Structure 1
Amino acid sequence: MNLRPVVNLRLRRSAGRSTRDVPLRTHWLVLTVALAGLVSALMLNGYASHLFGNAPDAEPPPRTSYQHVPADISGGGPVIDARGTDGRTASPRPLTIALTFDDGPDPVWTPRILDLLREHSAKGTFFVVGTEVAEHQELTRRMVAEGHQLGLHTFTHADLATVPGWRRSFELRQSQLILAGAAGISTPLLRPPYSSKAEAVADEDWSAIEDARRLGYLTVLNTRDSEDWRRPGVARILAGSRPTDDEGEILLMHDAGGDRAQTVAALSVLIPELKARGYRFATVSETVGLPEPVRPATPSERLRGLGMIGALKASEIVLAVLTALLAAAGALSLLRAVITVLVARRHARSRADAWREVVTDPVTVVVPAYNERAGIEAAVRSLVGSDHPVEVIVVDDGSTDGTADLVESLGLPGVRVIRQPNAGKPAALNAGIQAASYELIVMVDGDTVFEPDAVRRLAQPFADPAVGAVSGNAKVGNRGGLLGRWQHTEYVVGFNLDRRLFDLARCMPTVPGAIGAFRRTALLRVGGVSEDTLAEDTDLTMALCRDGWRVVYEERAKAWTEAPSTLGALWRQRYRWCYGTLQAMWKHRGALAQSGEEGRFGRRSLGFVFGFQVVLPLLAPVVDVFALYGLIFLDRRHVATLWLLFVGLQTLTSVYAFRLDRESVRALWSLPFQQFVYRQLMYLVVIQSLVTAVAGSRLRWQRVERYGSLQVPTGS
């Protein structure tokens, strides 16, 4: 994966533009085409595999009406041409038997029957199923090469009498194409599954026969059923197969659909016995005196047939791959849930008296601001109201909405404003770091409101000289409505559970820009805040970890942030976050090969982020695709059970996370609905971010629109 163009990206966030925009339309076009191909492959596989009629031919669904079947048909011969007003039929010649075999080809029994027919110089007619022909092409070609006649038994052994017209046409066309691709022939002979004798043709059967005629097919029924599908024993099969009074017969037998040992044994007796009585064994067309109906397929038919066979094979591969990916996604989801819950429990216990030495050193709070007029007053007032000594530096990064003027007009004690031309958030943070009066620095976004004790709690871990940074607990303030609740759940469950894990494993990848504290010494040692990525907070945190500093999580230090209030705004924010995280991971990939503390950070943090924040979201669409696949083709109860188990696992994890954060679990009523919009949005963000990164395209800076409505909520 070549991500070097991503790492070399230098952002100039002037007026919300970058030097080069991302070609999003091309990405989505490729994704749409790929998704369409995937869905088509699964639909084809599902149709071929799970709509296959498995009931024996002699056990059709009940037929009730016979009023519209012409008398000439119900009283006529077994070969039916439905053309004309009443249609025509043909009957077998005396002392002529057409051995017909349904449901094949089968890799075990068809070769044995072919060997037997060759041994006795007998010809047969095989009514083949399209999906079986695609699976056993060599056997189909052998049938043709040895002079046997082939007819269609539909694509999936469907009951043509009970399916709609479009499916009748599809079943016949696809089976014909597959036969052309596999054996190079085209046949007009058709035996509908579950058909019987002419006198048993019902109104539903007649409708299917008429449709088949319009498509150019002759329907072949039977005059005698050996009932070998029942496996009643060789003697009973022979008794049901012997003709009487020198009559000709079209005899129904099977070369597939189960154990056909009795059929083979019966044939080995029946053929020589009837030959001795003067019978000859011929194809269906010879038996009823019709010209040979089977013709060579045209090059176009063969080409399309090979394409259809290739599509079936490809769909099997796609399904196998997706099944493996589904198993991987399930395993990763379960692993993540178990690991995060167990580690979170241990983390909660270890934090009871984690910081025994009280830190009272004053803190500098740096607030980078670009057009934050809507929420800057609430943010600054909350900082000034801290129960810990602070100085507040607001760095106005070229705002055009009067942000700096508003802050200065407040006249709050301990608040300074630094104005600079628009140079981007990292430059604003670096300016604040340089102007800071104190060693401990808190960085906070201009849309974030701090609780009174947040700064004090952020300062306490610095009692340990090894601590270089502290991540606080960012909370969603505008959690009303479904979108707000979903983001609230994600912050509590996704972000905060992960931070507990990273804290104990000493591999924290991100101190959020909304609430984080740093040693000034540590910041200067790594060169301050870099402009290399769009996720400057992740980039900075990884740099600190690689420099040997410990980064911890203080969940009791809480700040309230205004989350995006529309799906479009959420998309832009998360796209920037995800893209920036990929940049930071690539930039710090060298940690994977390092030894000591740096190497442990790389393998633990980058491995976890890659596995659970990149790979798992990429596998998430497989879950949705399989859910749709299951609803259409599989047992819906099983699909519903699996979905409920999936949601149940998420719910249990979420309840525990909410309890740890002392949040009301009432917000979790929206969790099932999150599976249908929010989750898809998140994994599509990851997909597009990865495509953008691999392409080396530059992403414009996306700023979330603020409304200044943020207040610290009293409950959820």
Structure 2
Amino acid sequence: MDTHAAPRHRTVRDVRPRAHWVLLAVLLPTLMAALLVQGYARHMFGTAADGAVKPSGETATVPAAVPSGGPVIDARGDEVRTLAPEPRTLSLTFDDGPDPRWTPKVLDVLAKHHVHATFFTVGTQMADHPRLTRRILDEGHEIGMHTFSHADLGQVGDWRRGLELRESQLVLNGATGTTSSLLRPPYSSTPDAVDDTQWRALKAVGDAGYVSVLSTLDSEDWRRPGVDAIVANATPPSDAGEILLMHDAGGDRSQTVAALDRLLPQLEQSGITVGTVGETTRLTGATGDATASQTLQGRTLLLAFTASTWILRILTVMLLAAGALAVGRSLLLVVAARRHRRRSPQRWGPIPTPAQCPPVTVVVPAYNESAGIEAAVRSLVASDVQVEIVVVDDGSTDDTADIVERLGLPGVRLIRQQNAGKPAALNTGIAAASHEIVVMVDGDTVFEPSTIRHLVVPFRDPEVGAVSGNAKVANRTGLLGRWQHIEYVVGFNLDRRLFDLAECMPTVPGAVGAFRRGALLAVGGVSDETLAEDTDLTMGLLRAGWRVVYQEDARAWTEAPATLDALWRQRYRWCYGTLQAMWKHRRAFVQRGRAGRFGRRGLTYLTLFQVLLPLLAPIVDVFAIYGLIFLDPLNVIGLWLAFLGLQLATSVYAFRLDGERLAPLWTLALQQVVYRQLMYLVVIQSVWTSVAGLRLRWQRMERYGTLRATAAGPPVEVVPQPTASVGAPDSPR
């Protein structure tokens, strides 16, 4: 993972884009506010029908006038007044609507029999269906309040009770331009069932200016006992006036509609007059026109509620898309890896002996790599094949070049040049190469003795232009090191197996890759047009018709960032450079042959899983918080554990394929808390930078010199000593 300072013309616009973070800071509170509205309105309270919940029976402080009086209770002053429907009249009332399916059917039956009724509507339902609310009034019916979210007014605090009343009234103001002082408290029933808790709520709503309307006759349609039973329950047992409770929402109300159609003509034949609460009790002044201010506030609330509803719907679709992409990617990677594993051993024939391998040139571009250059060069010299090592010092300001000179190792050539950037250093090395096969390796990467021998095997196929090796994290101590180790094994290497199988490998990593020199020269060498020069080069080779393959046994050990800041800068450059390369090679979508396969397979995969999926990832976290607060937390936790289980199963399989110990996987759950968020924020930053047309500037990285070459096998990790290196972050993957 070599780092280099950029030539001056690279920083066309040396700008750190920050506007998107301001935008994000605005969008996130807006999003949370929208979800808060939806969560409060739809998930804070139960949905049991009125009459289904019985009071406790505590009546110590309930005034005697309430249980012995009428069902219409006016507690707006010091003296409690009650009203009842006149004899041989029935107040027909419906709760919990309006419902887009059942309320129109109820209205049609009422119109058929020329009867008016009172609808006690829920604020959220009115907000969802304002036109249906207006239809209720337009057809001569009466509307009363049933709170904003069907909250039990006896069980909530004063502030929430006031909010429930204000919001439901405002919704009515905005939807219809009218007001109503009629209120039926949710979960209420008859006057003689009012207990101490309910009375305190009735007194509070009376002080707020509302008249409470209870019931005397319960159709029990909420039980769905059958049409005959509903008609029987709804038929007055005497000549006394009654207030009948029915429902036009809250579930399947087909029995209610059928019973209503049968009940109304029976009542008419019995001489019972059916009407609204106002008509049967002669209560006046309960409804009226809203003021201009009330209407404006109501419409503003409706607009906010509608917007939050659509935001929730969009987020739900995005969440489903993210879930489908995540699950689909895991399954695709596992299936592809199994197929890749089965064919790999016989793919290129037997691994040659060192004597059978052709000579290889290894190019090591280096800029301020004093911390790791010795280990890198020594590991290359220890290779079990004939190698020519070309170290190109790209104007280092430390003693990188002096270290290489002092080593005095055989087969090592040092080329010094003025700082021109990593692509220029690589091109210098390619030009100086004596052999047809050129291996490129970063200055902080250590090879195993057999790495190069495994890299050259696929070149037996004359169509192979490049080979990707298996880059592995050496500094795995600490959570950050383990997380990156998991990502390399599970993410990068499983991806490479899939790309190899689909013949659309988008990146040969700068840490370990081999190329035909002729192929490199044919595509013009390494370009400096993007910040992901290795991805750009690989895509160029594919578009030129060369095959690019993966050799999992060609292992290289690289130093991963040791701090979150260093990791951010590295991944920011990787992601931004990859986006640049994808845009540069976008015409591969319409090309034919190997180039077309890369475009339609590789670019599509990158777009879906390395751009779109990370952009959708924040939705998962937002919904997790939303679900824990407003939904059943056990279901949310269960779903999260299911996804974690899928990731764990995929990770175990990937670790088995790579011959890795499973111990680091204990950090997988923790990885979802910090590391995952960092990765998708990097993508958000990179996409914004690309869309805004800004040029990412080259950045400063730290080298710790954590690797030491050994005579055989993987390198040894040593205690890190920070060494600053100025230049571009590490080469992608």
Shift of 1:647: 1.7
Match of 2:49 in 1: 56
Judged with a 3 Å threshold, the aligned counterparts in structure 2 of structure 1 residues 120 and 492 are, in CA distance, closer, same or farther, namely: closer
What are the within-5 Å matches in structure 2 for residues 296-315 of structure 1? 296-315=289-308
| Whole-angstrom CA distance in 2 between matches of 1:599 and 1:668 | 38
2:184 is the counterpart of 1:184: no
**How many Å separate the matches in 2 of 1:605 and 1:701?**
27
Instruction: After TM superposition, give the deviation of residue 191 of structure 1 in Å.
Output: 0.8
Q: Secondary structure at the match of 1:158?
A: coil
Does the Cα contact within 8 Å between 1:116 and 1:268 map onto a contact in 2?
Answer: no
Q: Does residue 558 of structure 2 align to residue 561 of structure 1?
A: yes
Query: Offset at 1:475?
Result: 0.6
**Aligned-pair distance for 1:254?**
3.3
2:236 aligned to which of 223, 229, 242: 242
Residue 373 of structure 1 aligns to a residue whose secondary structure is coil
Q: What displacement does 1:273 show?
A: 2.6
Residues 308-362 of structure 1 deviation map (CA, whole Å, 9 limit, x = unaligned):
3344444444444444433433333333223322332232233324244565333
SS at match of 1:361: coil
1:169 and 2:162 aligned: yes
Q: Alpha-carbon deviation of 1:169? A: 3.0
Mapped partners of 1:310, 1:217: distance in 2:
26
In structure 2, C-alpha distance between the alignment counterparts of 1:107 and 1:447, rounded to whole Å: 66
Higher alpha-carbon deviation: 411-420 or 654-663: 411-420
Deviations 1:102-155 (A, max 9, x none): 222344554455456556665432211223323443332233234332110112
2-structure distance, mates of 1:695, 1:430:
31
3-state SS of 1:475 partner: strand
| Residue 432 (structure 1) aligns with | 429
User: Which residue is equivalent to 2:704?
Assistant: 707
Identify unmatched segments of 5+ residues in structure 1.
1-10
Partner Cα distance (1:713, 1:156) in 2: 64
Q: Give the match for residue 458 of structure 2.
A: 461
Deviation readout 1:263-307 (Å, 9 max, x if unpaired): 3422332245344xxxx6554356555541322123333333334
* Residue 90 of structure 1: aligned partner: 82
Please give the alpha-carbon distance, in whole angstroms, between the structure 2 residues aligned to 1:49 and 1:532. 52
Q: Which residue does the alignment assign to 1:362?
A: 359
Residue 72 of structure 2 is aligned to residue 79 of structure 1: yes
SS at match of 2:371: helix
Counterparts of residues 191-590 of structure 1 (less than 5 Å): 191-230=184-223, 231=225, 234=228, 237=231, 241-242=235-236, 244=238, 247-257=240-250, 258=253, 259-260=255-256, 261-275=258-272, 283-285=276-278, 288=281, 290-353=283-346, 354-356=348-350, 359-590=356-587
CA distance in 1 between counterparts of 2:585 and 2:570 reads 23
Task: State the Cα distance separating 1:483 from its structure 2 match.
Answer: 1.4
AA aligned opposite 1:542: M
> For 2:41 and 2:627, how far apart are their aligned partners in 1?
14
**How far apart are the structure 2 equivalents of 1:182 and 1:348?**
64
> How far is the alpha carbon of 1:523 from its aligned partner?
1.3
C-alpha separation in 2, matches of 1:567 and 1:174: 46
1:347 and 1:92, CA in 2 relative to 1: closer, same or farther beyond 3 A? closer
Q: Is the 8 A contact 1:453 1:557 kept in 2?
A: yes
- Equivalent residue of 2:483, what SS? helix
- For 2:681 and 2:263, the matched residues in 1 are separated by 61
Aligned equivalents of 2:63, 2:263: Cα separation in 1: 36
- 599 and 106 in structure 1: CA distance in 2 versus 1, 3 angstrom threshold: closer
Partner amino acid, structure 2, of 1:536: E
Q: Which runs of 5+ in 2 are unaligned?
A: 709-713, 718-733
Please say if residues 243 and 249 of structure 1, whose CA atoms lie closer than 8 Å, have aligned partners that are also in contact.
Answer: no
Task: Indicate the residue corresponding to 1:687 in structure 2.
Answer: 684
> Does 700-709 or 655-664 show the bigger shift?
700-709
Whether 2:11 is the aligned partner of 1:18: answer: yes
- Measure, in 2, the Cα distance between the counterparts of 1:364 and 1:591: 31
User: Does the 8 Å contact 2:543/2:594 carry over to 1?
Assistant: yes
Q: 1:492-541: CA deviations, max 9, x gaps?
A: 11111111222233221101011111222221111111000010000011
Deviation of 1:646 (Å):
1.7
Out of 659-668 and 449-458, give the one that drifted further.
449-458
Distance in 1 separating the partners of 2:715 and 2:666: 19
Map 1:23-172 onto structure 2 (within 5 A): 23-51=16-44, 53-60=46-53, 62-63=55-56, 65-84=58-77, 87-92=79-84, 94-95=86-87, 97-107=90-100, 109-111=102-104, 113-114=106-107, 123-172=116-165
Q: Percent identity?
A: 61
How far 1:57 sits from its partner (Å)? 0.6
Q: Which residue type is aligned with residue 157 of structure 1?
A: H
Contact 2:393 2:401 in 1 (8 A): yes
Contact 2:178 2:287 (C-alpha < 8 Å) held by counterparts: yes
- Does residue 601 (structure 1) correspond to residue 598 (structure 2)? The answer is yes
Partner of 1:697: 694
* CA displacement, residues 11-36 of structure 1 (integer Å, 9 cap, x when unaligned): 98259993424453211222333344
Alpha carbons of structure 1 residues 372 and 125: separation in structure 2 relative to 1, 3 Å: same
Distance 1:118 1:397, change over 3 A: same
The question of whether the paired residues in 1 share the 8 Å contact of 2:220 and 2:233 is answered with: no
| Map of 2:727 onto structure 1 | none
**One-letter identity of the residue aligned with 1:364:** T
Q: 1:89 to 1:502 in 2, by over 3 A?
A: same
- The answer to whether the Cα contact below 8 Å between 1:235 and 1:266 also exists between their aligned partners in 2 is no
Q: Cα distance, 1:59 vs. partner? A: 1.6
Deviation at 1:203, TM superposition (A): 2.8
> How far apart are residue 46 of structure 1 and its match?
4.0
Q: SS state of the match for residue 481, structure 2?
A: helix
Query: Offset of 1:425 from its aligned partner?
Result: 1.1
Distance 1:622 1:496 in 2: 27
Normalization by structure 1: what TM-score?
A: 0.89
The Cα shift of 1:235 comes to 7.0
Q: How big is the shift at 1:75?
A: 4.7
Q: Is the 8 A contact 1:286 1:292 kept in 2?
A: no
Please give the secondary structure, in 2, of the residue aligned with 1:374.
Answer: coil
Q: Which amino acid aligns with 2:236?
A: R
Taking structure 2 as the reference length, the TM-score comes to 0.88
- Structure 2 SS opposite 1:351: helix
Q: Is the 8 A contact 2:85 2:277 kept in 1?
A: no
Once the two structures are TM-superposed, the CA of residue 81 in structure 1 deviates from its matched residue by: 4.0
Tell me, yes or no, if the aligned pair for 1:530 and 1:536 is still in contact at 8 Å: yes
